[in-house]
Amino acid sequence: MKGPRLFTTRFRVRYAETDQMGVVYHANYLVWMEVGRVEMMRELGFTYQRLEAEEGCVLPVVEVSCRYRAPARYDDLLEMETRVLAVRGSILKCGYRLRRAPGDEADESGEGALLAEATTTHIVVDRELKRRLLPEACAAALAGVLG
């Protein structure tokens, strides 16, 4: 059995994302998870904009967990690996691994040092915040990358 499909998004740490010590402020990792999730959905053929405008559904985060392993710093080149962990009914759970991009001069190992691991759980709701199912095509696309 093959594992879940990984979706990788690359970006560089901006100065505004760091604190006085030059270390990325912890809340920025949540923003980067959203970037990874949005790009994963886009690769699967669904944008958040389309889900909201055409399908009338939104996916608020109801739970998040993040384990910080090493600091990210200004100008580091990073890779966010995003994957679907579960999709059923009105629940979507995603997993994330943030690494320094292999070969980035800040990565002494040359292998892409692991900086953080995280999960988010989302519930699908309509515009009135009432629970609903994911649109069928979106649910099928997400289930198709579980592995």
Residues ≥6 apart with Cβ < 8 Å to 60? 122, 123, 125
For residues 14, 17, 19 and 24, what is the CA-based torsion angle, rounded to 10 degrees?
-90
* 3-state class (DSSP) for residue 42: helix
From first CA to last CA, the distance across the chain in angstroms is: 7
Specify whether 126 is catalytic: no
Q: Are 38 and 94 in contact (CB under 8 A)?
A: no
Task: Please pick, among 19, 75, 76, 104, the residue that the annotation labels catalytic.
Answer: 19
Structure tokens at 120: 């988010």
H or E stretch covering 88: strand 77-88
Query: Would you name the residues annotated as active-site residues?
Result: 19
